[in-house]
């Protein structure tokens, strides 16, 4: 798959850090020009652009955008065209994630979680559709195993990711035959920053429920993304779980 992506342009939302940064690094190593979308992680985005451009001059750029704003989808696509003259691959990776137990959930949390995890991927895909069709490109949505098996107390997040799974299949129909649309559903890869995920007991319980008895690495997700882009020309409308077997032991 090395250099399959040469001269192609990839947009990764939320690409400055964590899993998104691993996806940027891997696709860049496969030859792609990478546009890294970020919102607040400006230092991380700039550092990543610098390191990718040091490896290959003029191969990476970053663009800031609040995904809850309605003008952002078109602005992101325009930034890719301005930087590299084309867009071949969209990776919808950005996400917001926090608990919303019934009784304490709010309209604001609904707008934020549905906005970042579901609405933005749909509207970015719509903004990119013409260019992706022209390039016979593809979309990879980063879903979650909790799209299928809801995470306790994370009602809105689980609904949003469930919607993203449905969106993946729906867009595969809508954009065929020119554009393939697939998803990757991570299991435990990187612990969230929130306090409740720092407890060794909570972590141990989750790890014990993976068949492989460990959490994954960001590059495990990036490998699956690369496969769906570069190694799966007859796959569309499909979501691969990359979860160490967690979803069959939930």
Smaller CB distance to ligand NAP: residue 57 or 208?
A: 208
Which 205-244 positions form the footprint of ligand NAP (CB under 6 A)? none
Smaller CB distance to ligand NAP: residue 64 or 135?
A: 64
Compute φ and ψ for 139, nearest 5 degrees.
-125, 135
Question: Residue 38 CB, nearest distance to ligand NAP (Å)?
Answer: 4
- HEC assignment per residue over 33-55: EEEEEECCCHHHHHHHHHHHHHH
Region of 2-10, 12-20, 148-156, 223-231 interacting with ligand NAP (CB under 6 A): 12-20
User: 238: helix, coil or strand?
Assistant: coil
State the number of CA atoms in the 13 A half-sphere of 45 facing the CB.
Answer: 18
Q: Does 27 bind ligand NAP (CB under 6 A)?
A: no
Which of 88, 144, 220, 226 touches ligand NAP by CB under 6 A?
Answer: 144
Which of 96, 158, 168, 182 touches ligand NAP by CB under 6 A?
Answer: 96
* DSSP per-residue string spanning 63-111: EE--TTSTTHHHHHHHHHHHHHS---EEEE---------TTT--HHHHH
Q: Does 84 bind ligand NAP (CB under 6 A)?
A: no
Smaller CB distance to ligand NAP: residue 14 or 137?
A: 14
Q: Does 68 bind ligand NAP (CB under 6 A)?
A: yes
Question: Residue 94 CB, nearest distance to ligand NAP (Å)?
Answer: 3
CB 132 within 8 A of CB 171: no
Strands of the sheet with 60-64, listed across from one edge: 60-64, 33-38, 9-12, 89-92, 138-142, 180-186, 239-242
Q: How crowded is residue 97: how many other Cβ atoms within 10 Å of its Cβ?
A: 18
Catalytic residues: 157
Query: What contacts 47, CB < 8 A, 6 or more positions away?
Result: none
Token pair for 51: 């390191």
Q: Does 18 bind ligand NAP (CB under 6 A)?
A: yes
H helical segments located in 179-241: 200-208, 218-230
Smaller CB distance to ligand NAP: residue 56 or 98?
A: 98
Which of 5, 10, 11, 16 touches ligand NAP by CB under 6 A?
Answer: 16
Region of 36-44, 78-86, 132-140, 200-208 interacting with ligand NAP (CB under 6 A): 36-44
Q: Does 137 bind ligand NAP (CB under 6 A)?
A: no
Q: Does 40 bind ligand NAP (CB under 6 A)?
A: yes
The Cα–Cα gap between 221 and 226 comes to 9
Smaller CB distance to ligand NAP: residue 142 or 179?
A: 142
Smaller CB distance to ligand NAP: residue 14 or 162?
A: 14
Residues that bind ligand NAP (CB under 6 A): 14, 16-20, 38-41, 66-68, 93-97, 116, 142, 144, 186, 188-190
């Amino acid at each position: 798959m090395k250099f399959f992506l040469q001269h192609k342009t990839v947009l990764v939302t939320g690409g400055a850090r964590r899993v998104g940064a691993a996806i940027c690094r891997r696709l860049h190593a496969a030859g792609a020009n990478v546009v890294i979308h970020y919102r607040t992680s400006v230092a991380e985005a700039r550092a990543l652009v610098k390191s990718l451009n040091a490896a290959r001059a003029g191969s990476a750029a970053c663009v800031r955008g609040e995904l809850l704003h309605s003008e952002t989808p078109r602005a992101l696509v325009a930034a890719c065209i301005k930087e590299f003259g084309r867009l071949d691959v969209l990776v919808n990776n950005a996400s917001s994630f926090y608990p919303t137990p019934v009784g304490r959930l709010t309209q604001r949390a609904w707008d934020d979680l549905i906005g970042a995890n579901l609405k933005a991927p749909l509207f970015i895909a719509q903004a990119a559709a013409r260019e992706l069709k022209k390039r016979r490109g593809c979309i990879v949505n980063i879903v979650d195993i909790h799209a299928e098996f809801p995470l306790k107390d994370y009602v809105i997040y689980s609904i949003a990711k469930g919607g993203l799974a449905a969106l993946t299949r729906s867009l595969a129909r809508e954009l065929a035959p020119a554009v393939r649309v697939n998803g990757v559903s991570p299991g435990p890869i990187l612990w969230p920053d929130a306090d409740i995920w720092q407890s060794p007991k909570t972590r141990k319980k989750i790890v014990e429920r993976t068949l492989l008895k460990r959490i994954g690495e960001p590059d495990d997700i990036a490998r699956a993304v690369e496969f769906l882009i570069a190694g799966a020309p007859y796959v569309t409308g499909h979501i691969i779980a990359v979860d160490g077997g967690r979803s069959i032991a939930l």
